Amino acid sequence: MTRLLLATRNTKKLDELRRILTSAGIDELTVVGLADVEPFEESVEAAATFSDNALIKARDAARASGLASVADDSGLAVDALGGMPGVLSARWAGRHGDDEANLRLVLDQLSDVPDERRTAAFVCAAALVRPDGSETVVLGRWHGTLTREPRGTNGFGYDPIFVPDGDTRTSAELEPSEKDEVSHRGQALRALVTHLRELASA
Amino acid sequence: MTRLLLATRNTKKLDELRRILTSAGIDELTVVGLADVEPFEESVEAAATFSDNALIKARDAARASGLASVADDSGLAVDALGGMPGVLSARWAGRHGDDEANLRLVLDQLSDVPDERRTAAFVCAAALVRPDGSETVVLGRWHGTLTREPRGTNGFGYDPIFVPDGDTRTSAELEPSEKDEVSHRGQALRALVTHLRELASA
Predicted confidence band of residue A46 (pLDDT cuts 50, 70, 90): confident
Tell me what pLDDT residue B78 has: 98
Top-tier CATH class for B2-201: alpha beta
Under a CB-based contact definition with an 8 Å cutoff, are residues A88 and B109 in contact? yes
Binding-site residues of A for Mg(2+), in ranges, read 73
Residues 6+ apart with CB under 8 A from A200: A2, A26, A28, A29
Q: Which of B15, B73, B79, B98 is catalytic?
A: B73
Q: At what angle do helices B184-201 and B11-23 cross, to 10 degrees?
A: 60
Tell me what pLDDT residue A177 has: 84
Q: What is the pTM of this model?
A: 0.87
Write out pLDDT tens, residues A142-185.
999 999 999 999 988 999 999 999 999 999 999 988 998 899 99
Write out pLDDT tens, residues A84-115.
999 999 999 998 889 999 999 999 999 999 99
Binding-site residues of A, in ranges, read 8-13, 73-74, 156-159, 179, 184-185
Tell me what pLDDT residue A161 has: 98
Average pLDDT, chain A: 94
Average pLDDT of the residues in A119-147: 97
Closest alpha carbon within chain B to A91 = B109
- In 10 A of CB A90, how many CB atoms? 18
- Report yes or no: A39 at the B interface, CB cutoff 8 Å: no
Query: Does residue B73 have an active-site annotation?
Result: yes
Tell me what pLDDT residue B45 has: 67
Please report residues of B whose CB lies closer than 8 A to that of A90. none
Which residue from A45, A48, A88 is facing B109, i.e. has the nearest CB?
A: A88
Return the domain boundaries, chain B: 2-201
User: Is residue B74 marked as binding?
Assistant: yes
**In chain A, what percentage of residues exceed pLDDT 90?**
85
CA angle (B162 as vertex; B159, B163 as ends), nearest 5 = 125
Residues 147-176 of A with CB under 8 A from B: none
pLDDT per residue of chain B (202 residues) written in tens, 0 to 9: 899 999 999 888 898 899 889 988 999 999 999 999 999 998 876 899 999 999 999 999 999 999 999 999 999 999 999 999 999 999 999 988 899 999 999 999 999 999 999 999 999 999 999 999 999 999 999 999 999 999 999 988 999 999 999 999 999 999 988 998 899 999 999 999 999 999 988 7
Q: Cite the beta strand spans of chain A per DSSP E.
A: 2-6, 29-32, 68-78, 119-129, 135-146, 162-164
Indicate whether A45 pLDDT > 80: no
Tell me what pLDDT residue B189 has: 92
Tell me what pLDDT residue B63 has: 95
Closest alpha carbon within chain B to A90 = B109
- Report yes or no: A48 at the B interface, CB cutoff 8 Å: yes
- Report yes or no: A113 at the B interface, CB cutoff 8 Å: yes
Radius of gyration from C-alpha coordinates of chain A:
17
Alpha-carbon gap: B20 to the closest alpha carbon of chain A (Å): 33
ipTM of this complex prediction, to 2 decimal places: 0.81
- Report yes or no: B3 at the A interface, CB cutoff 8 Å: no
Tell me what pLDDT residue B5 has: 97
Q: What is the dihedral of CA A43, A47, A50, A51, to 10 degrees?
A: -80
Closest alpha carbon within chain B to A45 = B112
Average pLDDT of the residues in A3-7: 96
